[in-house]
Structures are given as structure tokens and as C-alpha cells.
Amino acid sequence: MFKETTLACLFDIGSLIAGFMIALELGVFQLSPWAIALYPAVISVKAVITGLLTGRLSTALHLGTVYPKFFGNTKSFYKLIAAMVVLTLGTSATISAISVVFGTLFWGVALSEFPAILTVMVATLSLGLLITLITVQFTFISFKRSLDPDIVVYPAVSTLANIVITFLYIAVLNLYFSGFIGRWAIIMFGLVNVFLVLFILPLNIRDIEFRRIIRESLPTVLLVAFMVNITGTLLKGVSNLAGSRREIYTVYPAMIDMMGDAGLVVSSAATMKLTLGVLSPSFGSIKNHAKNIFSAWASTLILFVVIGFLSLALNGVFSVSAITSIMVILLVSNVIAFVSIMLFSYVVSIQTFKRGLDPDNLVVPVGSSVADAITTAALLIVLLLLI
């Protein structure tokens, strides 16, 4: 389990690039309270949609209902892509609506900010549809080379998606706050998704397979839309405490990626053992999974030290006090987050097994969003104690 977790989380070191972009552009995130609070929504939703797509596509490839190619593929493949486009727009609108409620209650945002939030969210995720094409191609290549979708495909694509969507979000924010012309530009970007959905729905709304994908994915997406606003509220608290400490922003995306992937690896192993009858479907059986859990934990602890040093190096901070501070913040956050995420992941694995639910629709997307919230909460708690 140490090897599998390390392999999955190694990809997440790449998310330092996303964090470093945030650190370099802190100014634009300070122009409005919702700018930093929406960031978890942007990366989490794209990760969830990527996870849903990767999971369904990997399963379909192994069943032979989809071929590993873009053109001349099966009807099921094109229905899946169409459903992801519709889910992207629906999720954007849902998150924006929920964000207004959270913003009014916790972020200090007025109701008049709703058009801004909606415009930025829809434009960012519309541009992020490019990631769908990358995800599909990477999944095809991985299938041809017999790579594990949970340990290789999803972590690698998730990290790449984080980098791309962070770049796009920062670009959209800069355009929006640049003035009238910039705002009209991002409205045009957002309309691309709207027009695609208007084209897709009349052609597919009566199709049973298309409706099934939407119906099965919608509850997860709605739950995630709520969860990411909680994460955003927590991140705003982190931002208030971290101030201009760029090394903290730099490690944040890598932190949540690593914790989410560690939870995924452990829960996937637990689900397999439950299926094989090696584990009994009760919480008490967690002691029989302890070796795997502690191996995964050791891996994340080591990698947290690595990203801590890399973050300091990227930001040109080399003092003893800075090294001590970031290491304490990261390692204590790791302990709090890992314990909480493992308990949650194990319970979800048991319930998924007992109820016969599809892991692709529940364990990966919901677990990822909850892991993001837990990790952000752990970071906030540590900063409250230390700063």
C-alpha cells in the first residue's frame, strides 16, 4: 500500500504548479471576497467530473462498450461526453446559486454579486471542457497500456486538470476585473457551454442511456456543489490567517490532492477486500485493514515534507523559522486530515458494498470533495492554533 499510495500521490506534487500560480496572483484573489472562496469549487467540480468520466470510461472500455478512439466510436461514448457537457453547465449554475447563500452568510458578499459569480464560474468551467478531451485521450492511452485507473489514470489526470483549471480561473478573474471588455469576453466564453447544451439536449433528452447517466450523476454533483461551498468558506478563513504567506497557498492544491488520493487508494483496497470476502462489512474490521492504512499514512507524511521544502524553494524562502513553521503546519494538518479521511472513506466503502452502489458514482467523487473539505478544515485549525 505504501508503494501504491506513493505512486498515486507522486503525481500530486505537480499541483504545486497550480498553488504557485495562486501565490503569484494573490492580488487578483483579494479583489473580491468570493474570488478565493470559489477556488475549491472550480478545482473540485472539475476533479469530480473528471473522476466520473474516467470511472465510467474505464469501465466501458473493459466491458467493450466503448473503443479507445475519438472517431468512429460507439453511441455510448458520445452519450457519455454529451452528458458531461450538460453536467458541467448544470453544476456551474448550481454552485453559483449556493455560493450566493454562503457568500451572504459567511463571505461578506452582497446578492448583487450573483451575476459576477455565475459569469466567472460558467466561463471557467466552459473553458475547462478542454480538460475533458485530455481526460479521454489519457484514459485511452492508459487502457491500451493496461494501467490501473484508480492508481495511475485518475491521479495523473486530476493533477493536470488542477493545473489547467487554476490557470484558466486566474485568467478569467483577471479578465473580469480588467473592465467592461474583459467581462464581455468571459461572457462569450460562458456562452460556448450554453450553446453546446442547447444543441445536445434536443438530440439526447429522450435517449435512455443519456438520461441514465444524468440521473445517476446528478445526486453526486448536487452534493458536491454544496460541499465545495463549505470548503470555500474554510479556505477563505485560511486566506485570512495566511495573509501574504505564499508558501501556504503554494502547497494547498497539492495537500488536498494527496489526501484525496490517499483516501481513494485505501478505500479502493478496502472495497476489493470486501468483494473478495477478506474483510467483513463492519467498522470493526478496520483493524484488519490497519497495515494498508498506516502504509498509506507514512507515504503522505513523507510527501508532505517534500512539498513543504519544494514550496519554500519555489518562493525563495530558506530561513530556519520558515522551514520549521511550514513543516509543523503541514505535518499536524496531515495527522488531523488523514485520520478523519480514513474513517470517512472506510465507512463509505462499507456502505457502498452493503447497498450495492456504484463506486464510480459515489466513492471517488464524494470522497474527493469531502477529503478537500476535511484537509482545508485541518489546515484552518492548525493556523488558528499557531498564528
Residues 203-209 have a mean pLDDT of: 89
Kindly state the cell numbers that stand for 298.
507514512
Region for residue 69 given its phi and psi (left: phi exceeds 0; alpha: psi -120 to 50; beta: otherwise): beta
pLDDT given at position 151: 59
pLDDT tops 60 at residue 88: yes
Among 164-168, 241-245, 284-288, 346-350, the minimum mean pLDDT is found in 284-288
Cα(314)–Cα(250) distance, integer angstroms:
9
Phi first, then psi, for residue 158 (nearest 5°) are -60, -45
Cα(178)–Cα(188) distance, integer angstroms:
15
Q: Which pLDDT tens digit goes with each residue over 237-272?
A: 999 999 999 999 999 999 998 998 888 777 777 777
Cα(118)–Cα(113) distance, integer angstroms:
9
Give 179-212 as a DSSP string. Answer: -HHHHHHHHHHHHHHHHHHHHHHHHHTT-HHHHH
Question: Which of these, 123, 124, 128, 119, lies nearest to 100 by C-alpha position?
Answer: 119
pLDDT given at position 153: 66
Among 49-53, 124-128, 145-149, 207-211, the minimum mean pLDDT is found in 145-149
Among 43-47, 139-143, 160-164, 364-368, the minimum mean pLDDT is found in 364-368
Q: Which pLDDT tens digit goes with each residue over 296-339?
A: 888 899 999 999 999 999 999 989 999 999 999 999 999 999 99
pLDDT given at position 362: 63
Cα(130)–Cα(119) distance, integer angstroms:
18
Kindly state the cell numbers that stand for 136.
479521454
Of 74-78, 139-143, 261-265, 382-386, highest mean pLDDT: 382-386
Residues 180-189 have a mean pLDDT of: 94
**DSSP designation for 282:** S
Q: Domain ranges in the chain?
A: 2-386
Residues 358-378 have a mean pLDDT of: 80
Give 59-106 as a DSSP string. Answer: HHHHHTSS-SSSTT--HHHHHHHHHHHHHHHHHHHHHHHHHHHHIIII
Give 289-307 as a DSSP string. Answer: GHHHHHHHHHHHHHHHHHH
Q: Which residue has better confidence, 260 or 273?
A: 260
pLDDT tops 80 at residue 281: no
**Neighbour count for residue 213 (Cβ, 10 Å):** 23
pLDDT tops 70 at residue 127: yes
* pLDDT confidence bin for 5, thresholds 50/70/90: low
* pLDDT confidence bin for 350, thresholds 50/70/90: confident
**DSSP designation for 32:** S
pLDDT given at position 20: 98
49: Cα separation from own chain's centroid: 9
Which residue type is seen at 213? I
Kindly state the cell numbers that stand for 322.
520558515
* 3-class DSSP assignment, residue 319: coil
**DSSP designation for 281:** S
pLDDT tops 70 at residue 149: no
Question: Which of these, 96, 5, 87, lies nearest to 46 by C-alpha position?
Answer: 87
Kindly state the cell numbers that stand for 24.
503569484
145: Cα separation from own chain's centroid: 25
Is residue 363 a contact partner of residue 267, using CB atoms and an 8 Å limit? yes
pLDDT given at position 152: 66
Q: What percent of the chain has pLDDT over 90?
A: 51
Average pLDDT, the chain: 87
* pLDDT confidence bin for 50, thresholds 50/70/90: confident
**DSSP designation for 153:** I
* pLDDT confidence bin for 354, thresholds 50/70/90: confident
Cα(33)–Cα(201) distance, integer angstroms:
35
Report the half-sphere exposure of 156 (CA within 13 A, side-chain side). Answer: 17
* pLDDT confidence bin for 121, thresholds 50/70/90: very high
**Angle of CA points 102, 234, 240, to nearest 5°:** 105
Question: Which of these, 304, 284, 307, lies nearest to 296 by C-alpha position?
Answer: 304
Cα(195)–Cα(197) distance, integer angstroms:
5
* pLDDT confidence bin for 286, thresholds 50/70/90: confident
* pLDDT confidence bin for 177, thresholds 50/70/90: very high
Predicted TM-score (pTM) of the model is 0.90
Q: Which pLDDT tens digit goes with each residue over 152-170?
A: 666 677 788 889 999 999 9
Residues 47-64 have a mean pLDDT of: 81
pLDDT given at position 56: 81
pLDDT given at position 18: 96
pLDDT given at position 137: 85
pLDDT given at position 279: 74
Question: Which of these, 350, 231, 225, lies nearest to 284 by C-alpha position?
Answer: 350
Cα(90)–Cα(185) distance, integer angstroms:
21
Query: Which residues touch 211 (CB under 8 Å, ≥6 apart)?
Result: 205
Which residue type is seen at 41? A
* pLDDT confidence bin for 183, thresholds 50/70/90: very high
